[in-house]
Chains A and B, each alone.
Chain A
Amino acid sequence: DVKVTQSSRYLVKRTGEKVFLECVQDMDHENMFWYRQDPGLGLRLIYFSYDVKMKEKGDIPEGYSVSREKKERFSLILESASTNQTSMYLCASSSAVRGEASYEQYFGPGTRLTVT
């Protein structure tokens, strides 16, 4: 079974703090994703990484950065947290080898971040 883990289920931070959210997958997947989920807005892609040290901006990258130094780990960084970044953050991974199974994205349990 694919396993995607996230460093925290719940996190409370103050405005202006630097926040690190970590995601680890154990399936040797090339692709990793960070989403945020807000009520009524569904899932929105923040950043996507298709290889170590490679990244692409998603729909809402402003205020975020990412780091992928190892294949299994993808970090989301909020350089200076703001209250409008209070949200549920979801990490996912998928294979880049084209074939039926490769298209499927597998998700971690999510981190509910509150910025006060």
Chain B
Amino acid sequence: GIQVEQSPPDLILQEGANSTLRCNFSDSVNNLQWFHQNPWGQLINLFYIPSGTKQNGRLSATTVATERYSLLYISSSQTTDSGVYFCAVEFQSNYQLIWGAGTKLIIKP
């Protein structure tokens, strides 16, 4: 069946470290988004990236659609980067996203 798998499930890093989060998906996609959920529960869009590479400050993302994976890079981590990072994918043209289980990131000062 359709699947979205994220790894690792948990990640604990010191402030200043770099990290790579991975999202594997089981079929071709119309839409792939990365979200950050802060400790208060608010979900924030990070990237819309069904293919290619994008950068926004210390964050960047790459999706290799032919190999069915996406990577989110966080450089020079700050404590405010803590939270849960979700990958969500639209497989069919129906606007509905299938969500991964998330990667919980803790950045220690």
Q: Which A positions have Cβ atoms within 8 angstroms of B?
A: 31, 33, 40-45, 48, 50, 58, 88, 90, 92, 94, 96, 100-101, 103-107, 109-110, 112
Tell me, rounded to whole Å, the shortest Cβ–Cβ distance linking B95 to chain A: 5
A45 & B43 in contact (Cβ 8 Å cutoff):
no
What size tier do the contact residues of chain B reach?
20 to 34
A45 & B90 in contact (Cβ 8 Å cutoff):
no
Contact partner, B95, options A31, A88, A107, Cβ 8 Å: A31
Contact partner, A104, options B30, B33, B100, B101, Cβ 8 Å: B33
Q: Which B positions have Cβ atoms within 8 angstroms of A?
A: 30-31, 33, 35, 40-45, 48, 50, 86, 88, 90, 95-97, 99-102
Contact partner, A110, options B31, B41, B102, Cβ 8 Å: B41
Chain B residues contacting A112 (CB-CB under 8 Å) are 41
> In the assembly, what is the distance between CA of A112 and CA of B95, in Å?
25
Chain A residues contacting B30 (CB-CB under 8 Å) are 103
Contact partner, B96, options A41, A58, A107, Cβ 8 Å: A58
